[in-house]
Amino acid sequence: MGAEHRLQTFSYGLLIFDILTVLFIVVTSFLPRTSLVEVVDVIVGVLLLADFCARMWIARRPLLELRHPATWADIVAIGSFLLPITGEAGGFLRVLRTLRLLHTYTVLNRLRSDFDFFRRNEDVLIAITHLGVFIFIMTGLVYETQHRTNPAIANYVDALYFTVTALTTTGFGDITLPGSSGRLISVVIMIFGVTLFLRLAQILFRPNKVRFPCPVCGLQRHDPDAVHCKACGETLKIPDEGDD
């Protein structure tokens, strides 16, 4: 029981650490690159490296972990903090770890059991996470490729502003990305960003479903007041807020 509690605390601690790391990157984009910022970068990188090495050590087949995109996202994030040549923008890839953690089966189960709000809004929260991760990655890419040559991109807020206006196809025109590379980045933002945004809108406006596996066919999602499974007709006993 104590080990389970420590694991739960550690998992939530990683989520908080992810959020604080992103906030650190945003804030430091407004500040000159000082030795203090570099020291904090290295400390964060060492912590990430220790976590990564521990997970690889306890993995049953470490080499198979390299097949997962999340593993390479971890490697890129670690390098972005430990290697100054990568620049601070690469640190935005750190948010990919939050997405990987949310998709871990045990963490999802823990969130469902611990928070009724997550159970009722799981799909929406995960869709928001997907969209947020994409926005932060593209913001980092825009900033890293533009802030040295494009006077309109002076900090992450400028890059974020452009990313959101491109994603929503608003296109005010006050900030543009010149050259072929800038146009390609804009195209990627519009195509993938609009897709993720529409996915979120679809989830928000579709009829609400509850997650309750059918004991016969295993269908996961049902109407909140469903009595029978619409796939096999099995009688369901979906708990409601009044059940103990």
Could you tell me if 94 and 176 lie in one domain? no
Count the domains in the chain.
3
Residues 115 and 227 occupy one common structural domain: no
Which conformational region is residue 218 in: left (phi greater than 0), alpha (psi within -120 to 50 degrees), or beta? Answer: left
Q: Are strands 210-211 and 221-222 parallel, antiparallel or unpaired?
A: antiparallel
Mean pLDDT, the chain, rounded, equals 78
Q: Is the pLDDT of residue 134 over 60?
A: yes
- Asked whether residue 67 falls in the same domain as residue 134, the answer is no
CB 51 within 8 A of CB 78: no
Question: For position 161, what pLDDT does the model report?
Answer: 92
**Residues 131, 38 share a domain:** no
Q: Which of 86, 120, 154 is the last residue of a domain?
A: 120
**13 and 54 share one domain:** yes
Q: Which domain holds residue 154?
A: 122-206
Q: What Å distances lie between residue 238 and 210, 220, 226, 235, CA to CA?
A: 9, 11, 8, 10
pLDDT in tens, 56-84: 888 888 888 788 777 887 787 787 777 65
Least confident of 75-89, 145-159, 206-220: 75-89
- Same-domain pairing of 115 and 127: no
- Stretch among 89-98, 126-135, 176-185 having the lowest mean pLDDT: 89-98
Q: Is the same domain home to 128 and 111? A: no
Residue 212: per-residue pLDDT: 81
Q: Are residues 201 and 215 in the same domain?
A: no
Asked whether the CA dihedral 17, 20, 21, 22 is positive or negative, the reply is positive
pLDDT tens digit sequence for 191-203: 998 899 888 888 8
- pLDDT tens-digit profile of 37-57? 778 878 888 888 888 888 888
Sign of CA dihedral 122, 198, 162, 78: positive
pTM, two decimals, is: 0.71
Sign of torsion over alpha carbons 21, 25, 30, 34: positive
Alpha-carbon separation of residue 62 from 45, 102, 232 (angstroms) = 21, 21, 41
